[in-house]
Amino acid sequence: MSLTYCGNLVRQADPDRFLISLLMPRTHREALWALYAFNAEIAKTRSVVTETTTGLIRLTWWREALVDIYNNDTVRSHPVVEALADIIKTYDLDKNLFLNLIYVREFDLEDVPPASVDGLKTYAQATNAPLLTLGMNILGQNDTQEVIKTVSMHFGVIGVIRSVLHMVSERRCYLPDDILAKQNLSPQKLYDFNQKEKLPEIIKEVLESLSENQNARSSFLRAHTHVSHLYLRQLQKVNYDLFDPRLSAPPPFMALRLWAVTR
């Protein structure tokens, strides 16, 4: 399959959402890739900068590029910005949803773990709910705000859990402070991989705090719900051990299972 710049970027940076996009109508895939490519660009900000100021400048560049699009000013010469300009006009997408996604990425630059599980859930919703809403706008689908928030929270929290080891390697921690404290752990101890045997219990407590996912009308949301479910089951099978090599592979028959729930 020949992919555009945005399609290639999403396939490499966000394989789960790339897979979901392939299960959606072909006529909307390029628009979803443009949306996801934008998200990948702003989400990686903390990983590609060494100073908070530099990260804020990068996010400001994306914010101003969006404002230019909505003000009908010159579209900046960047393949993702150019693709965004097209989908914003085609689908009449809400500017504030994009700006909210940029705003929450400023939190990443602070390197402050959430104080509690509720804080982690709030972060998960903020980084995913606008994206889900924009995706449904592109697809012409809808659902209740309650369902959107629940699906985005599950998807985001499980995404954070699956990326813990990568984040720790960058000296970042999104595990709640209060749960770490119960195990007499601190972010610094995690960065040094001290007492890593305590991680499974922390992961288990975070994931067991998740409420039941709700039934979604939208096939787009059902796909996200099932991705969360498959990864949760995978984590349970390895007893929440993030170092288990079985986690390096996606859940078995993932594409087929997602196809089934989106039909």
Per-residue pLDDT, averaged over 97-114, amounts to 95
Give the residue from 82, 110, 138 where a domain finishes: 110
Pair (161, 57) in one structural domain: no
User: Are 90 and 116 in a shared domain?
Assistant: no
Provide the whole-model pTM: 0.95
Digit-coded pLDDT (tens) for 155-205: 999 999 999 999 988 899 999 999 999 999 988 888 887 778 899 999 999
Say whether both 59 and 139 belong to one domain.
Answer: no
Q: For residues 14 and 88, state if they share a domain.
A: yes
Query: Tell me, what's the pLDDT at 2?
Result: 74
Percent of the chain with pLDDT over 90: 87
Give the confidence band of 18 by pLDDT, cuts at 50, 70, 90.
very high
Question: Domain check: are 80 and 146 in the same one?
Answer: no
Confidence at 212, pLDDT banded by 50, 70, 90: confident
Instruction: Say whether both 182 and 199 belong to one domain.
Output: yes
Same domain, 48 and 87: yes
If asked whether residues 124 and 239 sit together in one domain, one would say yes
Could you say which of 77, 95, 110 is where a domain stops? 110
- Total domains, the chain: 2
Q: Examine the domain organization and report whether 45 and 147 are in the same domain.
A: no
Structural domain of 52: 1-110
Is 52 in the same domain as 30? Answer: yes
For residues 116 and 243, membership in a common domain is answered with yes
| Per-residue pLDDT at 1 exceeds 70 | no
The domain boundary residue, chosen from 77, 110, 143: 110
DSSP string, the chain: ----HHHHHHHHH-HHHHHHHHTS-GGGHHHHHHHHHHHHHHHTHHHH-SSHHHHHHHHHHHHHHHHHHHTT-PPPS-HHHHHHHHHHHHHT--HHHHHHHHHHHHHHTT----SSHHHHHHHHHHHHHHHHHHHHHHHT----HHHHHHHHHHHHHHHHHHTHHHHHHTT---S-HHHHHHTT--HHHHHTTTTGGGHHHHHHHHHHTPPPPPPPS-HHHHHHHHHHHHHHHHHHHTTT-TT-GGGGSPPTTHHHHHHHHH-
122 and 251 fall within a common domain: yes
Q: How confident is the model at residue 214 (pLDDT cuts 50, 70, 90)?
A: confident
